[in-house]
Amino acid sequence: MRSEYYRKILEIFAESYPGSAQFKGGRQLRKSDWDHVFQEINDSPDAKESFISAVEELVDQGIISVKWIKFKKGDKVDALYLKNPAVMYELLGEDTPENIRESILSLVNSYKTNSTITLKIIEYIRNNYVSGDREILTNYDDIRDILILSELSPEEALKYNIRAVSVKLFNNSKRIETIKDKADKICALCGEQSLSERLGIERKFPETSISGIAIIEFENGVRWPLERKILTLPLLTVLSIKDIIIPKANPRILSIENKETFYVLSDELDDFDLFFYCSGKLNSADKAILKIFNNINYEFYHTGDLDPDGLKIFNEIDFQLDGKIKPYKMDVKTYTKYLKHGYKLSDGALKYFDRYDNSKLKELADEIFRSGQGVEQEIINYFSGD
């Protein structure tokens, strides 16, 4: 009876082979530290015997070669080397990466399209298919269907929900969900917007909220006066906005991280004319409205948690607004005042935070890193006058 380690050893080599030097025509793939991979062989004589038996069988078949620890031949493995990848994949019941690569390159070289995005994906695959990236490039069906999906226009995609689009393109209601992460990764490698965002197939319904004394003007000429009411807008509505008008000299906009704080400040704080709720992470609707703000000559401020995540959110908004954002109640004075009500930050939260480099908040970041504590936005009093 064949040892269970027989297949496990093959699977470990198969996982590493596509990105190896051997795949590119170089030296044989080497694997060592098997007593760490299979720790049970250190303590169980039966497990060790089963492992050694599998190694010897694979060597006899010419699939691998073995280097034994000196003076322990046949007892302790120093390293294994892959000799015959083709037979390995045959035994695993898989096609070889070489065959898959040739099929994919044949596909992209013969693929006819007028889509700019599709052409960029094709060009990327042509120029970069050398490593045999197992995750991205070694599945012919996935690459074929990603090319098909990339040709879909945003206008056509908006007519259907994601599963209807999937049936229309692939006669499979869940096919897009299967390939969209891989499609988005390839688009990122090409320097392009993800297909999920471009086609609106994220299976999310991004919204953004604003409030204040302002008028929203849409492309069709319709105007909505906010009149200090809170308005939550889905992405499609934000994309139809032409302008956001604040009828006041030198208007100020405040971005707020915490939802409860947004509700309170947008109703009570008179220091700003428009309030924007950005939540813990910017979604596509948030980014779309920030793009509108960025085209307007207003003053922008942000307030949020005084902790690593809060400062990283400040950075993200600052990036969207081309460096125009200013901190509000995000300073050492405010942090020190509320530090007694703070909470201990985890090592993970503080990891690399000493490298925070936004000069607008660098002093605060250094103080947070030194004390190892965070202060939540909800406990800050914005009406104290200091």
Whether residues 321 and 230 fall in one domain: yes
Closest to 264 (Cα-Cα) out of 386, 385, 377: 377
pLDDT over 90 (residue 154): no
Whether residues 71 and 216 fall in one domain: no
- Confirm if 300 and 293 have CB atoms less than 8 A apart: yes
Please tell me the predicted confidence (pLDDT) of residue 303: 96
Residue 269: inside a domain: yes
Please tell me the predicted confidence (pLDDT) of residue 98: 85
Residue 386: inside a domain: no
Whether residues 65 and 115 fall in one domain: no
Of 150, 181, 199, the domain-final residue: 199
The three-state DSSP-derived secondary structure of the chain is CCCHHHHHHHHHHHHHHHHCCCCCCCCCCEEECHHHHCHHHHCCHHHHHHHHHHHHHHHHCCCEEEEECCCCCCCCEEEEEECCHHHHHHHHCCCCHHHHHHHHHHHHHHCCCCCHHHHHHHHHHHHHCCCCCCCCCCCHHHHHHHHHHHCCCHHHHCCCCHHHHHHHHHCCCCHHHHHHHHHHHHHHHCCCCCHHHHHCCCCCCCEEEEEECCEEEECCCCEEECCCCCEEEEHHHHHCEEEEECCCCCCEEEEECCHHHHHHHHHHCCCCCEEEECCCCCCHHHHHHHHHHHCCCCEEEEECCECHHHHHHHHHHHHHCCCCEEECCCCHHHHHHHHHHCEECCHHHHCCHHHCCCCCCHHHHHHHHHHCEEECHHHCCCCCCC
Whether residues 74 and 150 fall in one domain: no
Domain with 52 in it: 4-92
Of 199, 222, 253, the domain-final residue: 199
Our count of domains for the chain comes to: 3
Mean pLDDT over residues 43-58, rounded?
Answer: 92
Residue 56: inside a domain: yes
Whether residues 305 and 365 fall in one domain: yes
Q: Considering just the CA atoms, what is the radius of gyration of the chain in Å?
A: 29
Residue 327: inside a domain: yes
pLDDT tens digits for range 315-345: 999 999 999 999 999 999 999 999 999 999 9
What integer best gives the mean pLDDT of the chain?
Answer: 90
Chain-centroid distance, C-alpha 194:
10
Please tell me the predicted confidence (pLDDT) of residue 136: 67
Residue 50: inside a domain: yes
- Confirm if 265 and 275 have CB atoms less than 8 A apart: yes
Residue 385: inside a domain: no
Residue with the bigger pLDDT between 223 and 131: it is 223
Residue with the bigger pLDDT between 282 and 131: it is 282
Whether residues 193 and 292 fall in one domain: no
What's this model's pTM, rounded to 2 decimal places?
0.56
Whether residues 72 and 175 fall in one domain: no
What angle (nearest 5°) sits at the alpha carbon of residue 289, between those of residues 325 and 151? 125
Q: How far apart are the first and last CA of the chain?
A: 78
Please tell me the predicted confidence (pLDDT) of residue 309: 94
pLDDT tens digits for range 70-124: 877 878 899 999 999 999 999 999 988 888 888 989 999 999 999 999 999 999 8
pLDDT over 50 (residue 208): yes
Cα(153)–Cα(181) distance, integer angstroms: 18
Whether residues 66 and 167 fall in one domain: no
Mean pLDDT over residues 222-226, rounded?
Answer: 95
- Using a 10 angstrom Cβ sphere, with 0-12 exposed, 13-18 middle and 19 or more buried, the burial of residue 305 is buried
Please tell me the predicted confidence (pLDDT) of residue 384: 66
Whether residues 257 and 333 fall in one domain: yes
Residue with the bigger pLDDT between 2 and 56: it is 56
Whether residues 227 and 368 fall in one domain: yes
Residue 384: inside a domain: no
pLDDT tens digits for range 178-205: 999 999 989 988 888 888 888 877 666 7
pLDDT over 70 (residue 132): no
Mean pLDDT over residues 266-291, rounded?
Answer: 89
pLDDT over 80 (residue 386): no
Mean pLDDT over residues 344-372, rounded?
Answer: 92
Please tell me the predicted confidence (pLDDT) of residue 189: 86
Whether residues 241 and 338 fall in one domain: yes
Whether residues 283 and 355 fall in one domain: yes
The residue behind tokens 């690459």 is 143
**Percentage of the chain modeled with pLDDT above 90:** 64
Of 46, 61, 92, the domain-final residue: 92
